[in-house]
Amino acid sequence: GENVEQHPSTLSVQEGDSAVIKCTYSDSASNYFPWYKQELGKRPQLIIDIRSNVGEKKDQRIAVTLNKTAKHFSLHITETQPEDSAVYFCAASRGYSTLTFGKGTMLLVSP
Amino acid sequence: EAGVVQSPRYKIIEKKQPVAFWCNPISGHNTLYWYRQNLGQGPELLIRYENEEAVDDSQLPKDRFSAERLKGVDSTLKIQPAELGDSAVYLCASGPRGYEQYFGPGTRLTVT
C-alpha cells in the first residue's frame, strides 16, 4: 500500500518568514495530493490540493509543488502569520481510493 | 452550506462497554469515510462508503467494530466491546464522487 513520509515533524518560524513542509510517497500510481490544516481540537481542513497532471498550484500565500519523478510534494507558506500556527498533514491517493496521511507537521509562527 | 455533522462530540466509557458514533455528511456527497486519529498522528481510514456500499473496510477491526450507512446518507460507527486502545478521535468525512474530502468535528472517545 501507499506510504507517506512527512518532514519536519515540528517547524518554528518568525512571523513574515516562509515555511516549507515536505512529503514523499511510495506509490507511483498516486495522483491526488491534498494538504490539510488542523488547529488544536478542531477538524482537519482542506487548504490546497494538487493532481498529478500539474506541477504547481498557488492560492494566495500558500502553494504546493509536485515532483512526480522523485515522488515528493511540498507545501510552501509565504509571509507567515500567527494564525498559520497549526498541524499540517499531507496525504496521497490513487484516484478515488483511500487517502494515506503523513504524520503531520506542527508549525509554530512566533510574532 | 452545512458541514459534516457528528455526535456526540465527546464520550467517556469504561472498557468493555459499547459505544456508537453518528455522522451526517454534507448534502449530496455520495462518499463517506470514517477515520480514527490517535494523538499526534494523521487520520487513518477505518471504512469508506460509496452511497450505501462499503467499498474499503480493510482497516476496520471487524471483531469489535461495525458500521452502517442506511439509505446512503447518515452513518453510524459502533464499537463493542471498547478497549483502552480505542481511545482516539473518530472523524467522519464526506466528499462528492471524486477526490476532495471534508471532515466533521470528530468524536473524542476516552475509554477508562
Q: Quick check: B91 contacting A, CB < 8 Å? A: yes
**For residue A34, is the peptide bond before it cis, meaning its omega torsion is within 30 degrees of 0?**
no
pLDDT(B97) > 80: no
pLDDT reported for residue B107: 97
Q: Quick check: B53 contacting A, CB < 8 Å? A: no
pLDDT(A12) > 90: yes
Cell of A35: 494538504
pLDDT(B48) > 90: yes
Beta bridge partners of residue A45, listed in sequence order: A37
pLDDT(B94) > 90: yes
Distance from C-alpha of A29 to C-alpha of A77, rounded to nearest angstrom: 27
Q: How far apart are the first and last CA of chain B?
A: 37
pLDDT reported for residue B80: 97
Distance from C-alpha of B9 to C-alpha of B14, rounded to nearest angstrom: 17
Mutate to test the interface with B, among A98, A103, A106 (most CBs of B within 10 A): A98
Residue of B nearest to A95 (CA): B99
Helix, coil or strand: residue B72: helix
Average pLDDT, chain A: 94
Share of chain B above pLDDT 70, in %: 98
Q: Which of A96, A98, A103 sits opposite B42 (nearest CB)?
A: A103
pLDDT band at B1 (very low <50, low <70, confident <90, very high): low
Helix, coil or strand: residue A66: strand
pLDDT reported for residue A71: 95
pLDDT band at A97 (very low <50, low <70, confident <90, very high): confident
Beta bridge partners of residue A108, listed in sequence order: A12
From the CA of B54, how many Å to the nearest CA of chain A? 12
pLDDT reported for residue B100: 85
Residue of B nearest to A41 (CA): B105
**Residue that the C-alpha cell 484516484 belongs to:** A95
Among B9, B105, B95, B109, which Cα is nearest to B49's? B95
Residue of A nearest to B36 (CA): A101
Backbone angles phi, psi at B84, to 5 degrees: -55, -35
Count of other CB atoms within 10 angstroms of residue A18 = 11
Question: What residues in chain A have their Cβ under 8 A from chain B's Cβ atoms?
Answer: 32, 34, 36, 42-46, 49, 51, 89, 91, 93, 96-99, 101-104
Rounded mean pLDDT, B80-88: 97
Long-range contacts of A73-76 (CB under 8 A, 24+ apart): A73/A22, A73/A23, A73/A25, A73/A33, A74/A20, A74/A21, A74/A22, A74/A23, A75/A20, A75/A21, A75/A23, A75/A35, A75/A48, A76/A18, A76/A19, A76/A20
pLDDT(A95) > 80: no
Beta carbons of A51 and B99 less than 8 Å apart: yes
Angle at B39 (CA atoms; ends A25, A105), nearest 5 degrees: 45
DSSP code at position A93: B
Q: A21: which chain B residues are within 8 Å (Cβ-Cβ)?
A: none
pLDDT reported for residue B40: 87
Contact indicator for A66, A23 with CB cutoff of 8 Å:
no
